[in-house]
Amino acid sequence: MDRPALNFCPAAVLSLMLLSPVATVSDTQDPIRINGQRLMANLESLSRIGRLPQGGNGRVAFSEADREARQYVMGLMRSAGLDVSIDAAGNILGLRAGSVPDLPPLMLGSHTDSVPEGGHYDGPLGSLGAIEVVQSLADRSISIRHPIIVVIFQNEEGGKTGSRIMSGVFESRELDLVSHSGGTIREGIVFSGGDPDNLDSARLEPGDIGAFLELHIEQGAVLEKAGTTIGVATGIVGIRRWTVTVEGMANHAGTTQMNDRRDALLAAARFIQTVNQVVTGMEGDQVGTVGMIQASPGAPNVIPGLVTMSLELRDLDMEKIERVFQTIQSRAQDIAAENGTRIELDEFYLSRGAPIDNRVMQLIEESATALGLSSRRMPSGAGHDAQSIAPLAPTGMIFIPSIGGVSHSPEEYSRQEDIIAGVNVLLGTIIKLDTF
Of 386, 382, 397, 390, nearest to 285 by C-alpha is 382
All CATH 3.30.70.360 domain ranges in the chain, comma separated: 238-351
Of 426, 391, 404, nearest to 167 by C-alpha is 391
All CATH 3.40.630.10 domain ranges in the chain, comma separated: 4-236+353-433
User: How much is the pLDDT for 1?
Assistant: 32
Q: Is the pLDDT of residue 30 over 90?
A: no
User: How much is the pLDDT for 11?
Assistant: 34
Between these two residues, 188 and 177, which has the higher pLDDT value? 188
User: How much is the pLDDT for 146?
Assistant: 97
Asked if CATH classification 3.40.50.620 holds for the domain at 238-351, the reply, yes or no, is no
**Cα gap 430→41, rounded to integer Å:** 23
State the virtual CA torsion across 149, 153, 154, 155 in degrees, nearest 10.
180
Q: Is the pLDDT of residue 375 over 60?
A: yes
User: How much is the pLDDT for 3?
Assistant: 36
pLDDT in tens, 110-166: 999 999 999 999 999 999 999 999 999 999 999 999 999 999 999 999 989 999 999
State the virtual CA torsion across 167, 133, 64, 67 in degrees, nearest 10.
-60
268's CB contacts (< 8 A; 6+ apart) are 244, 246, 293, 295, 307, 309
Q: Is the pLDDT of residue 273 over 80?
A: yes
HSE at residue 382, side-chain half, CA atoms within 13 A, is 19
Q: Is the pLDDT of residue 436 over 80?
A: no
Query: What does the pLDDT average to over 352-367?
Result: 92
Specify the CATH architecture of the domain 4-236+353-433.
3-Layer(aba) Sandwich (3.40)
HSE at residue 6, side-chain half, CA atoms within 13 A, is 29
Measured on CA atoms in the order 122, 125, 131, 137, is the torsion positive or negative? negative
326's CB contacts (< 8 A; 6+ apart) are none
**Cα gap 238→320, rounded to integer Å:** 10
57 DSSP assignment: B
**Cα gap 89→124, rounded to integer Å:** 19
Q: Is the pLDDT of residue 249 over 60?
A: yes
User: How much is the pLDDT for 22?
Assistant: 42
User: How much is the pLDDT for 26?
Assistant: 52
Q: Is the pLDDT of residue 20 over 80?
A: no
User: How much is the pLDDT for 8?
Assistant: 41
Q: Is the pTM of this model over 0.75?
A: yes
User: How much is the pLDDT for 411?
Assistant: 93
Q: Is the pLDDT of residue 109 over 80?
A: yes
pLDDT in tens, 286-305: 999 999 999 999 999 999 99
Phi then psi dihedrals of residue 51, to 5 deg? -65, 140
User: How much is the pLDDT for 354?
Assistant: 83
Question: What's the distance, Cα to Cα, between the start and end of the chain in Å?
Answer: 17
User: How much is the pLDDT for 23?
Assistant: 53
Q: Is the pLDDT of residue 350 over 90?
A: no
